Structure 1
């Protein structure tokens, strides 16, 4: 069945509809598209490049083969859990496409659901990662674990606090020897750890002391973690500013 290119001023209602085979809703213009619990669609549905004012549907009623690229809508009638809408996007048989995720996030933001919009954009990054080469997937996992691709900034703060406390206790129990004992400042385990973790700030501790053995490995790990966190936080801030 095909409605390709049709214009519906009111509601395109699929209540009690039972359609076997392909349903083309491509390039339609509609005031609203509605499905109900008794809607039965067994074939693929093509929504590409359609413009809908209100999407008044149940995501579960759509089949597992959707084409959503270019679909725009201004309002979601039902206040649904984000996971239901993400499962709806995942039904797109063409794989990862950025526009459907961006559209859903834009609609949630317009309706005042900022947390839901961030969750959608995080899911977008994760789905994109699955289509990338192995090296980019590894970097993507790091960004996800540390700051949730910039959409969960408090996770970065938690990592920093955990590393800061753990390393401070480790260095306080046995601080590294001074490079020049006669000129070295008083060792401060907290400031020394900050010096290692924060790549752009110096408290005069890192250069004054020279760790050995396991402390050398710990110091190297803190420096690497600091750069990773700084880079991912910067990437997250860039994304946030680009959405303003």
Structure 2
């Protein structure tokens, strides 16, 4: 299921989303003493990151991670980790913990297994999940073109994280699976621009999740995905 929130400007969207997410993180801290959030990369969330980073919450009790990451050096322009450190782990939010998905030079089976244990034992279920969406309907690194898409979208997959090699995009990836992300207490899809509106309309018009993986979040009856869109 989904609920759509349209805003006239990106600044309005960023303000409203930052306020909502800050409140949810503060509420989680109040009830259980800690909070967790997974965010997505790209240029779209930069304004949202800047506003969220300055919210007055107990950031020392917040763990931030990524929905997915490219297996590249952290100083690479393609690194989502670098994006988060430069734009979200700033100001008051600089004291938050960060759960690194990219660890080591190669994504070996042993590293992936260790990350799965750590994610399941210390991070999941997430309190807040912020998704993005590609032009092909992928989200996180759940690419329709990849050989790993069935495992990535399986509700029965007990692995929190998988290695993904897309054929239509560069770099090996590590991504949370749908089964792990679907445990999140609050799910948001952050979109900007007319092109993304067209992709969203297409995703809403059908339920073939393997053609457009974002549909797994939009049409699952056990989830409510809050869509935040601005031109």
Q: TM-score w.r.t. structure 1 length?
A: 0.24
Determine which structure has the larger helix proportion and give its number: 1
Please say which structure displays the higher CA radius of gyration: 1
More strand by share: 2
